Structure formats: structure tokens, C-alpha cells
Amino acid sequence: MVTTSTTKGTEQENSPNKSLENSLNRQMIAILDFGSQYSELIARRIRETQVYSEVLSYRTTAEQIRQLNPKGIIFSGGPNSVYDSHAPQCDPEIWHLGIPILGVCYGMQIMVQQLGGQVETAERGEYGKASLYIDDPTDLLTNVEDGSTMWMSHGDSCVELPEGFEKLAHTDNTSCAAIANHEKKLFGVQFHPEVVHSQGGIALIRNFVYHICNCEPTWTTEAFVEESIREIRAKVGDKRVLLALSGGVDSSTLAFLLHKAIGDKLTCMFIDQGFMRKGEPERLVEIFDKQFHIPVEYVLARDRFLARIEGIIDPEEKRRRIGHEFIQVFEEESQRLGPFDYLAQGTLYPDVIESADSNVDPKTGERVAVKIKSHHNVGGLPEKLRFKLVEPLRKLFKDEVRKVARSINLPEEIVNRHPFPGPGLAIRIIGEVTSERLKILRKADYIVREEIKNNGVYNDFWQAFAVLLPIRSVGVMGDKRTYAHPIVLRLIKSEDGMTADWARVPYDLLETISNRIVNEVKGVNRVVYDITSKPPGTIEWE
């Protein structure tokens, strides 16, 4: 049953931790991060082989690694030169653990330098694509085609190999593009096998994971779900858990997992701030309450949020006020519904890697929530609202969350839902947000989504939405002069949202969307298309 409440206005840990103690993680590859932009990508590529991987700081000691007992270690690339005075170095005892190691770019140079070889500035740097010529096609380079294109990004080269090492491959500009000490199972590559531009990169990674490290493919969606349910039950016991639900894939997947694990000990709270897309609040309640029988505490707070940002033009101030109001509503409703011992958050693995903010209760040693790190991105919770955290998704990347969502039978409309900002349509209205402008944008946005779904291309885009500009332009409709708002269409493609490119949409689809918006949305007489990539632009306009 849905309960409706109407409110009235007046690092995380980037180190070895307990998440590695369950049985799933015994088959794992540890990645020591030396500052590479590709460290997360290495982890994702390892997981694509169905073997668990985790990114750790390069400062992780040999003893910490020994306790984790990984099947293999990968040293990432990095922006430094090994001979820089402040270049990051690893614990030299790691070389004596007897664990297979693969050094990538800077990671290979660290290996060469610390084991007695020599690294120097190259006469010619190597950036971008290069052909790899294989001298030894065994072990690491099995099934990697001679002459394959690999992605290079280095200004230093290894000019003298340590004792016991031999060359496996070269390029036109790099004599030691891949090296190995077969006896000690130490390998290095000067290129980046993890990027899509490296043709034989995945084969190389699979060779390291399966044949050199002898891993088995135990990191599966089904195993993750089973293990997560056991962990949730063991941690929560008979205590109550509160989850702020948004309708996105992260919080929805989390809600389903928690409900499977603890049933009615879970309370889902959905705060309707009035900035959602057309039909989304109603559909969310219908799916969870009617279809899957997961109760949702529906908090109607539209008037309150709109009043809070009345007259506000600055985008950062809009975000700040919406965030602050969310905290206020969350505090009031959690006290009304509580008490709760745990707060469930949809923290994902990139959040864990990127965040250096770890909050630990000094008495219990458990992480506690002093801020919501979720879809709302709203900043700090009041100190008096201190919950212990439940974060079952904190090991997963976004694509892995979608796989879990499918495995537990979430509807495809949730699984494939485009990312939607916490402040919602309020930051897709440039300048002041009014009820009339929300009405205009909500209709226009619905037409965009409806047409790309009708044309079967919804999943072709990372995001596809409309933006309302706070200006008016002259138009002619029915032989009459109009003076109305323009709508900006923003359809983009991306893999992770960090970079993005505008989508080359067929003209007939753009024409259909434009005609419908102008004809069906009162207050709009012009539609334009944003052809700006990220960078230099951002995906959202505010």
C-alpha cells in the first residue's frame, strides 16, 4: 500500500576493506592505481572476463596485498616519469609476493626501474595508434595478431631490461613494447590494452587473467545477487532500513535487492519535488506498489520546492536550494517514519574510487551517513541524523548494475532509463523556474522521449531531452504573429557521461519532433538542436 504524505512549506574507502572478505572476491585481480585516467577501465575490462577486480592505491603495502590474496596484480599507467623526484613508487616487497604482475605503461616502467633496469626519455614519444610486432607469441601475447594496432601514450622508454627479462614485442619507435620474466610471472606492456583502440587488448587481458593468473569466471550477476542478499541479512539483522527512491536504475535495483533480503524491514521514501518528467511519479508508484508489492512512502512536496526556488536565476543557487530543501523534507519524513538504524545508498564503484571522504563512527568503526551520496547529490545530512550505511552496489559499475537489474526482473523501462539529474527539470529550465515553464518543458520533453521510443532508437542515446530557454522569439502561426519560447533539443551519445558527443540524428526524426513540439506545446514557436560535445560543453545546460 502506498502511503502519501504532503509536506507543507514554511574517501569513501579506496583501500583494502571488508568488502573483499566474502567468497566472491577470493578470485580477484588487484589494480594498483598510479594516477592513470584508465584505471577504472582496466577494472571494467577484467570484470568483463567474469573475474572480480578492485582498484587500490599505489601506496597499498605488500602485507595488505598478501592479506587480500589476489590471483594477480596490475600496475596502471600514470602521468609521471619514473625518474621524477615525486614520482609514485610501489612497495618493493610486492615483487617478492610470488603473485603474477602486469605493468601497463608507467606500471611497466616502475617494474623495470625497481628491478634494476633503466628507463630514459625516448628520442621520439609515441602517442596514439602504433603497430605491435610480436617477437614471442606465447603466454601474454597468445592469440594477439602480429601487427595489431595498439594505443600508445608515453614519452619514456625502457632502454635496459632487468635480469631475467626478455622482449616479447616491439613497435617502430619502441624496442621494448612488451616484456616478461616468465619464471617469476612478471609482465609489462608499454601500450594500453584496456582501451578500445587496442585491437588485441582484450585477448591479452584474458591471457593474463586466465592463463597466467589461473582465475576462474566466478564474478557473475547471479553470484553477486546471492552473495549480496546474504551480506544484507547478516548486517541488518532485525533492524530497519530507509531508502530514498528516485526511480532510476541504481535506487530501483537497490530497492529490489533490499526487499528480497529483508522484506518489510525496508522503507522506501519517494519525495516528489515537482521536477520529475511527465508521468514518472505515478509510474514509479505503480511499478513498485501495484506490480511488485514493495511499499513506497510517497511524499508530495511540489509546492514547497517551487516556492523555495521562486525568483532564483543562478543555476548553482537553484541546485543548492533544491538540495537543502530535500534534506529538510528527508529529515522531517525520516523522523515521522522512523526510527531507522540504516540508510541504504546507491553508491557505485566509481564513487568509491573517486571519493576520499570516509566517515567512520569512532565508537563502532562503521561508516555512517553524514551526507547523501546518491542520485540527488544534495550534500550533507544534519549531524543528528546519523545512520549506518548499507551500500550493496558499491562494488559495481553502472553497466553491472543494469545486468543485476535485469537478473532480478526489473522492467526494461527502469533498466534502460536515461540518467536524470537530481534537481530534474528545474535545471533544464534556464533561469527562473515557474509552474508555467515547468508545464511547457514537461510536454516538450515527453514528445522527445515518445518519438525516439516510437522510432526504436531510445537505447541509442545516453540522454535525450529538451531544454527551455528564458527568451522569446518571433514566429508566425496561423497567419498570426507569435512571440514564444524556443526549445533546445539535446541528444547525446556517451559510454560513461564523462565525455559525450552530440548524436547525428536523422533529419526526418528531428523534423517530426520539432513539428510536434511547435504544434502541441503552447508557448513554443521554435526548436533548435544543440551540436556541442563534452568538452567543451556539458551534457546539462545548468
Catalytic center residues: 105, 192, 194
Which three-class secondary structure string do you get for 33-57? Answer: ECCCCCHHHHHHHHHHCCCEEEEEE
Q: Is 519 exposed, middle or buried (0-12, 13-18, 19+ CB in 10 A)?
A: exposed
C-alpha cell at 94: 610486492
CA dist 470 and 414 (Å) reads 31
CA dist 472 and 486 (Å) reads 7
Instruction: Determine contact, residues 427/542, Cβ cutoff 8 Å.
Output: yes
CA dist 191 and 127 (Å) reads 9
28-33 sheet: strands from edge to edge: 52-57, 28-33, 72-75, 101-104, 186-189, 178-181, 166-170, 118-134, 148-160
Peptide bond before 193: cis, by omega within 30 degrees of 0? no
Q: What is the DSSP string of 265-299?
A: GEEEEEEE-S-SPTTHHHHHHIIIIIIS---EEEE
HSE of 380, CA atoms in CB hemisphere, 13 A: 6
Angle at 483 between CA 478 and CA 489, to 5 degrees: 95
- Do the strands 72-75 and 28-33 form a parallel or antiparallel pair, or are they unpaired? parallel
Strand, helix or coil for residue 311: coil
CA dist 450 and 511 (Å) reads 14
The amino acid at residue 296 is V
- Distances 285 to 3, 54, 84, 251 between C-alpha atoms, Å: 10, 36, 57, 14
CA dist 129 and 150 (Å) reads 6
CA dist 40 and 429 (Å) reads 34
CA dist 348 and 145 (Å) reads 36
CA dist 248 and 445 (Å) reads 17
CA dist 109 and 165 (Å) reads 13
CA dist 378 and 381 (Å) reads 9
C-alpha cell at 262: 529483508
Sequence length of the chain is: 542
- Distances 394 to 5, 248, 399, 495 between C-alpha atoms, Å: 30, 16, 13, 19
